[in-house]
A and B are shown apart, each in its own frame.
Chain A
Amino acid sequence: GQNIDQPTEMTATEGAIVQINCTYQTSGFNGLFWYQQHAGEAPTFLSYNVLDGLEEKGRFSSFLSRSKGYSYLLLKELQMKDSASYLCAVRDSNYQLIWGAGTKLIIKP
């Protein structure tokens, strides 16, 4: 079966750095996505990786290793507004998205 694993919950301190990991086993691979979802709101797109390596976008970076079935989302200079759930999703060989259950990130002052 297809599976996406990410931690259920993480806690970090304002101003610090946090890394949210995502491992996947899917039938084929056609890209990996990270979305952010604040409580009670719509998920919003953060990043897309299709090739190995690091993609940087401001305070957020996303890394992919296809050979290891592994990605991480790195958030720097954490702000209170970064408190949210972070969803990892992989597009499989049928171009369907397989979603992880999400990581709830709690930022403490």
Chain B
Amino acid sequence: DVKVTQSSRYLVKRTGEKVFLECVQDMDHENMFWYRQDPGLGLRLIYFSYDVKMKEKGDIPEGYSVSREKKERFSLILESASTNQTSMYLCASSGGDQSGANVLTFGAGSRLTVL
């Protein structure tokens, strides 16, 4: 069964702390994404990556950075957490498929609370 695994389901951090959210996929997918999900809003793209060492800003990259040192791993970093970064963070991956859909496979999410 294909999987996207996020290292932490629930985290509680204090304002100003550095936060690492790890995501690993076992499908050999080229593309990986970080989204945040907030009530009443659609998923918002933070960063994405189409290849190792490569990263692209999404719609809301401010306050975040990412790292992709290996194909299977995509990390989201909050250099100095703030209360407005309290959210559900979803990692996803996609690979080429013959339909052209490039369907996203999501991890279970990491719910971050910043106090």
Contacts and interface: CB of A to CB of B under 8 A. Distances in A.
Interface of A: 4, 8, 31, 33, 35, 40-45, 48, 50, 87, 89, 96-102
Nearest to A96: B45
Contacts of A101: 40-42
Nearest to A101: B42
A34 B49 CA distance: 23
Given A87-B43, A99-B42, A99-B43, 8 more contacts: A4-B42, A33-B103, A43-B90, A48-B99, A50-B101, A97-B104, A101-B40, A101-B42
Contact of A48 (B40, B43, B101): B101
Interface of B: 4, 40-45, 90, 99-101, 103-109
A102 B45 CA distance: 16
Given A41-B108, A43-B90, A48 B45 contact: no
B91 to A, nearest CB: 9
A72 to B, nearest CB: 18
A100 B108 contact: no
A47 to B, nearest CB: 9
27 contacts: A4-B42, A8-B40, A31-B100, A33-B101, A33-B103, A35-B104, A40-B109, A41-B109, A42-B106, A42-B107, A42-B108, A42-B109, A43-B104, A43-B106, A44-B106, A45-B104, A48-B99, A87-B42, A87-B43, A89-B42, A97-B45, A98-B42, A99-B43, A99-B44, A100-B42, A101-B41, A102-B42
